[in-house]
Chains A and B, each alone.
Chain A
Amino acid sequence: MKEVVQGIPLNYYLALSTVLFSIGVLGVLFRRNAIIILMCVELMLNSVNLLLVAFSAFHGDAKAQVFVFFIMIVAAAEVAVGLALMVLIYRNIKSLDIDFLNKLKW
């Protein structure tokens, strides 16, 4: 497995993660649908996971992979809670456009 990962130079991983992360960020910034924003957040998390795994393999240190599992668990929990919130929001205002969700102020 290690060989497989190391078969590709590290720079490629970095580039891919950066691209994925940027897509995630831009998605969060410019999309209005809450579900898509949530997916973009997941994308950002996964890009980081990818980076962690890559570094872990190249440095021969397993500690980073532990973090990956943590992040996956947290992400799973987040999705569970997040989607549940979405459902509730949709039931209430029949929309998932975040521009309508501006009650929480002042």
Chain B
Amino acid sequence: MKEIAWLLPALPLAGFIINGLGRKYIPKTLAGIIGSATVLGAFIIGIMLFMQVHETQQGQVLNYYRWLSVGSLVVDLGLYVDQLSAWMILIITGIGFLIHVYSMGYMSHDEGHNKFFAYLNLFVFFMLVLVMGSNYPMMFIGWEGVGLCSYLLIGFWNTNTNYNNAAKKAFVMNRIGDLGFLLGMFMIYYNFGSLDYNTVFAKVAGFEINSPVLVAIALLLFVGAMGKSAQLPLYTWLPDAMAGPTPVSALIHAATMVTAGIYMIVRSNIIYTLAPHAQDVVMVVGLATSIFAAVIGLKQNDIKKVLAYSTVSQLGLMFMALGVGAYSSAMFHVTTHAFFKALLFLGSGSVIHAMGGEQDMRFMGGLKKKLPITFITFLLGTLAICGIPPLSGFFSKDEILLNAFMASPVIWSLAVISSLITTIYMLRLLFVTFYGKFRGTHEQEHHLHESPASMTIPLVILCILAVFGGLLNVPEIFGGNAWAHHYFSGMIISTGEEHGHHVSHATEFILMGVMLTLIAAAFVVLRNKYITKGAVPEKDEEMTGFTKLIGNKFMVDEIYDFFIVKPAYLMSSALYYVAELKFIDLIVNAIGDGIVGLGRIFRRLQTGNIGFYIFTMVLSIVAILVFKYFVV
């Protein structure tokens, strides 16, 4: 295993180097092929690793070389292949490959095509480092690395200032989280003397439940996760990150990078399990984010923004699952979410491609007939995210809801509300975009066309995954064996909430029934509003009251800007002009000027009168003599 595992990150890295250095010389098609082939190669190796892990059911640490050893701090550049990392590898390289293929079509007319593939490969490399590292610093390397790629790709079209601002915002907000992660790592090292997963987890097991150290570590790491996985209050970068090309949104900002926070918590699950206080925080933040983002999603009209808020909301749901200790359910939802959200983003990309760059759904409509493949795949993706059985989203969401119910019915009902809102905005998006009359310009209508095969084939494959992905984890009540759940059980230390007090099948069916009834009701209402009556979302200036507040995303950006960004810049100027120039430097200069001033006074003694000089000289000599012989 050791011989081939290193190839996994090395292949995309090689792709990055080749495409990066040769971006001017390699033809576009070849660059696309290199980019995709390296990821495909990694995917194949990933499958091999996955098979081995599945067989042995245990993790393996593969150390390659010593990166750093300072005192007792030893960090190896090592890979850790276990159930979790093998699973993540498949998601990253699998979906990564499909998105690479898709990008060959999507970016074919862009002058930065080769650069784009280089960045994309670099991202896959860092993401693999993130999930495969055998210690926290390795995870951090990947963690910041993907942040960097995210920065580069959001600001890919870097002549546009808004895009650049979005990129910078993403990087800085992630950095805020990273500081938490960093301090969490320090805390781990300080208390356990190591940063290797195996050593740390072995030592954690000896701690009492809710000991302050563990709670502190868990919370600090969670701050990192908040940044990367866009949770309250650090989520605002993700909607802005939609400035990047759509494949980037699909790969980085929906399927993989943003789930890094969940990966981190699942990886450290023992710490969280032993720190229920921290778990509660995770659960509350997750739930709040889930509802908050979903509500904002209701009034967005940019199709990518709707999907972005949906991602934030779904991530919140996953964190809620982590918070109630349902680690494998969260991972399962990460997987299905990767399938259908990547599908939805790529579908929206296909729509945007066809519309010539238009992203506002108020100017779309009736695309059903013009883009049949896109429509069908998008439809199935939407149904999956809404949780319609037997699509994948149904199974994963149902599991999370069930676990929420076992934790507390209150949590369950809030999660149901969040899911219901998800259904509403997704159906709204689907109906407004694909049904009704076309509302764009004639020129756009004339140009409407289905996307090329390189774009539609990934859509179809992802659609199949989104439809059947649920089969990975069919619960017992449907006669399944919860395969994914058992797959992960080897590396998850559970307090028993997942296995513990089972609810009866009857309760399970009732819970499902409630959820499905609500979805059906929403479907009927929305269908009536948007298809039968053909309603179109109001223009920005027509929004009033609470709607307007939601449409403006609860003014969170404005609030941050007013209370944090502006004061920070003002403070910077104040420090410079007041503290620096008017205080510290003034004191320094005052000392210099003071000495010059004293000189100005004392030079008056130099009268130029020789008699005076001689007189003072004699007087001084006498004074010295007197002092010498009579005083001392």
Contact = CB atoms under 8 A, between A and B. Distances in A.
Interface of A: 25, 28-29, 32, 37, 98-99, 101-106
Nearest to A30: B611
Size class of the B contact interface (CB-based, 8 Å): 10 to 19
Contacts of A102: 607-610
6 contacts: A28-B618, A29-B614, A37-B614, A98-B611, A102-B607, A102-B608
Contact of B614 (A28, A99, A105): A28
Interface of B: 603-604, 606-611, 614-615, 618
A6 to B, nearest CB: 29
Contact of B606 (A25, A28, A32, A106): A106
Give 6 nearest A-B pairs by CB, closest first.
A105-B608, A102-B608, A98-B610, A105-B606, A102-B609, A104-B608
Given A105-B607, A106-B603, 18 more contacts: A25-B618, A29-B614, A29-B615, A32-B611, A37-B614, A98-B610, A99-B609, A99-B611, A101-B610, A102-B608, A102-B609, A102-B610, A104-B606, A104-B608, A105-B603, A105-B606, A106-B604, A106-B608
Contacts of A106: 603-604, 606, 608
A105 B606 CA distance: 5
B611 to A, nearest CB: 6
A45 to B, nearest CB: 15
A95 to B, nearest CB: 13
A78 to B, nearest CB: 16
Nearest to A98: B610
Contacts of B609: 98-99, 102
B144 to A, nearest CB: 64
Contacts of B614: 28-29, 37
Nearest to A32: B611
A2 B111 CA distance: 112
A46 to B, nearest CB: 18
Contacts of A99: 609, 611
A12 to B, nearest CB: 23
Nearest to A101: B610
A68 to B, nearest CB: 22
Contacts of B615: 29
Contacts of A32: 611
A28 B621 CA distance: 14
A103 B611 contact: no
Nearest to B603: A106
